[in-house]
Structure 1
Amino acid sequence: MSREEIAAPEGFKALGDPIRWSIIQQIAEQDELACSLLEDTLPVSKPTISYHTKILAQAGLIEVRKRGRNYFYALRRDALRSLMDELWTMAPGPRPVGEAPTPRPAPESEPAAGDEASQQTALLTW
């Protein structure tokens, strides 16, 4: 597979395992994650970690770099975005563009915080 291509079924299948999901979450928190850190945080053996990272790499979700005897993993954020785009094509609708604005204090003439008119909204796009 080229860097741009990712097959949705393989990507979703790879993300469907709790151990692989945990690996993706840990890698997402950093630019690059050493395999030794996964060994410290996951309740599985080194061969099992290797098995799961191989599946994630084959699905195109992570990149693996070897330096000496150590392996380092980086998340392919473009691949995750591609999977999200696949889902949006099946269920199109408004997509969040950014975070909701910071709440501002309501003047006394506006409805109270619990009223429907004062609820925050997110900017959406099609």
Structure 2
Amino acid sequence: MFKALGDPIRWSIIQQIAQADELACSVLEDTLPVSKPTISYHTKILAQAGLIEVRKRGRNYYYCLQREALRELIDELWTIAPSPRAVGDAPARPRHRRGRQAGSRRAAAEPAAAAEVALLTW
């Protein structure tokens, strides 16, 4: 799965499919800077890795993300490096983008969004 996700074109495909329940191949043809055979090659790798499901309807192909496969991958990663894990309806914001500095009064004064996430620790 990591090898399949490591290519920038395949990562773009995953991101586009994740934004829709189902994505037609024609959309990928319009948004990616590669040929139709190259899109086919990349989607085949993603399907073999179990990350997407491919459905053919007439002459058209449609792709949907195998979200459960991604969840399982994330869960496996958490078993390797467990730490407090944010859960809830809204995804937690990445820590590295906050720009929080040690001793910053503003950062210390910001209230935690308790309604959005809860921390699980072990």
1:47 is aligned to 37
**What TM-score, normalized to structure 2?**
0.79
Give 1:80 shift. Answer: 0.5
Give 1:27 shift. Answer: 0.2
How many residue pairs match? The answer is 104
**What TM-score, normalized to structure 1?**
0.77
2:24 is aligned to 34
2:112 is aligned to 120
Query: Residues 50 and 115 from structure 1, CA distance in 2 versus in 1: closer, same or farther, beyond 3 angstroms?
Result: closer
Could you say what the CA RMSD is over the residues aligned between the two structures, in angstroms?
A: 1.6
Structure 1 residue runs of 4 or more that deviate by more than 6 Å after TM superposition: none
- Cα-to-partner distance string for 1:54-89 (whole Å, 9 max, x where unaligned): 000000000000001100000000001011111111
- Cα-to-partner distance string for 1:91-113 (whole Å, 9 max, x where unaligned): 0011111236xxxxxxxxxxxx8
**Structure 2: gaps spanning 5 or more residues:** 93-104
2:3 is aligned to 13
